[in-house]
Amino acid sequence: MSIFVNKDTKLIVQGITGGQGRFYALRNRDYGTQVVGGVNPMKAGQDVEGIPVFGSVAEARDATGGTATMILVPAPAAPAAVLEAAEAGMELIVCLTEGIPAHDEAHFFNKVKRDFPKSRILGPNCPGLVTVGECNIGFIPAEVAKPGGPVGIVSRSGTLTYQALAELGHKGIGVTTCVGIGGDPVPGTSFIDCLEAFQADSDTKAVIMFGEIGGTAEEEAAEFIASKMDKPVAAYVAGVTAPPGKKMGHAGAIVSGGKGTAQGKMDALREAGVRVGLNPTEVGDIMAEVVASL
């Protein structure tokens, strides 16, 4: 078991003919992901190292049975790519593109939520996700990770996601699924979505959560953990030494209500029963203790 993706997931890559799209499509395929097709309206009929290129997501879906998509197109084209994927019935839309305007993100998040409730967006500006040993979608270098659980990982930061996998890999502790939700203003998938899925997943027995300063997502996750989770959670929040975040006028201060500092987030998580480490390595040590006591 795992969350969101597994060995049966069939992946379509929007932007497969670009430099990054090609590199990661092939890298993901090498990992074992079923990369069944790519999309580029200008290059339909061609192929990328044997991966057929289609003119649209719907055509790729019809020809291959793909149900998940990875988006690696430039930021100005990304909103339309997300909506095209949702219209084509993609269940999972992993948007890796960075630099998408916040208003576009807010628009397509709400549009997909309302009109295509079966589609889940992950990202934008996220590293993707990996179910270890089965399916890797995106940038995560998961070669160091051991499959099968018992640990699930969710992180806002890309490179800290990799760090978490490396810490557990070095200790020989297995991972079910590792999800990088991304740090943009409107993440399609939240900490809570992932925690809820990990709580329901029988192979995941404990969860690592890596947060960051800014916003209130970690505080909301803490509330969820306190009220809805019985699996142990270990966490790290980056940004203790960061200067106070840029206040977005009075409006930003009012919306955050004093939340958003690393200290405030760590306190909220501790109150929810989460064991908090002061750096990623310490969280790995905590998780080793947790796993040993399972």
Which residues in this chain contact another protein in the complex, by CB under 8 A? 20, 75-76, 98-103, 106-107, 109-111, 114, 125, 127, 139-141, 155-163, 166, 183-186, 210, 212-217, 220, 236, 238-246, 248-255, 278-281
Q: Which is nearer to another protein, 45 or 257 (CB)?
A: 257
Q: Give 60 or 145: the residue with its C-beta nearer to another protein.
A: 145
E strand or H helix at 91: none
Minimum CB distance to another protein, residue 248 (Å): 5
Nearest-angstrom CA–CA distance, 120 and 13: 16
Rounded CA-CA distance 265/250 in Å is 21
250 assigned to active site: yes
Burial degree of 192 (CB within 10 A; 0-12, 13-18, 19+)? middle
Contact 252, 211 (CB under 8 A): no
Minimum CB distance to another protein, residue 64 (Å): 26
Nearer residue to another protein within complex by CB, 33 or 64: 33
> Which H/E stretch holds residue 43?
none
In angstroms, give the least distance from the CB of 256 to another protein. Answer: 9
Q: DSSP assignment of 254-278, as one string?
A: HHHTT---HHHHHHHHHHTT-EE-S
Interatomic CA distance for residues 81 and 13, integer angstroms: 11
Nearer to another protein, 79 or 232 (CB): 79
Work out how close the CB of 183 gets to another protein at its nearest, in angstroms, rounded to a whole number.
Answer: 6
State in angstroms the smallest separation of the CB of 294 from another protein.
Answer: 26
- The three-state secondary structure class of 95 is strand
Contacts of 112 (CB under 8 A, 6+ apart): 82, 83, 86, 93, 119, 121, 188
Question: Of 84 and 201, which has the nearer Cβ to another protein?
Answer: 84
Counting every residue written for the chain, the total comes to 294
Among the options 103, 107, 170, 250, which is catalytic? 250
Q: Are 121 and 109 in contact (CB under 8 A)?
A: yes
* Residues known to be catalytic: 250
